[in-house]
Structure 1
Amino acid sequence: MPNDDIMTTKELADYLRIAEKTAYRFASEGKVPGFKVGSAWRFRKGEIDRWIAQQEQEGKQK
């Protein structure tokens, strides 16, 4: 995703290799960082990468 810093729910799902429905649920529940444009969720790739790193660190602490 060279210049496209913003991802759709489908792109997020592909990126995380999860179902699109799961990505939408995670966003709705505030489990992943995102924002709404109208009624559609959008995600900044940099924030998602930081969230992944944070999840990895929390997993190591358990």
Structure 2
Amino acid sequence: MKKSAYLSIQEVAERFGVNITTVYRLVKRGKLPAFKIGNQWRFSESQLEEWVADQVTVKWLLADEAPSLGGTGGRKKE
């Protein structure tokens, strides 16, 4: 049997190592690509892969542009 190109919310939560509630929250906020079939959320594997790549790229770009804090972790030296 061919593996489905679509994942359930449980499968997405397991894949990312997060709680199902976190996945629901991301979907509700429009941050995670998903669609509904009846009353069940489904996720395209290819769209999830693109989403992950975008998240990594954004974080990399932001880290590259962030100002240096001098290695103190933002804490004042005593």
Percent sequence identity is 28
Q: Distance in 2 between matches of 1:28 and 1:38?
A: 16
Write the distance in 1 (CA, Å) between the matches of 2:3 and 2:39. 24
Amino acid at match of 2:37: V
Alignment match, 2:49: 49
The 5-angstrom pairing of residues 1-62 of structure 1 reads 3-62=3-62
Per the normalisation by structure 2, the TM-score is 0.73
Per-residue deviation, residues 9-36 of structure 1 (Å, max 9, x unmatched): 0000011111111011111111111101
Q: Distance in 1 between matches of 2:23 and 2:44?
A: 14
Q: Which runs of 4+ in 1 moved over 2 A?
A: none
TM-score w.r.t. structure 1 length? 0.90
Number of residue pairs aligned between Structure 1 and Structure 2: 61
RMSD of Structure 2 on Structure 1 (CA): 1.1
User: Which SS does the other structure have where 1:43 is aligned?
Assistant: strand
Please identify which structure carries the higher helix content: 1
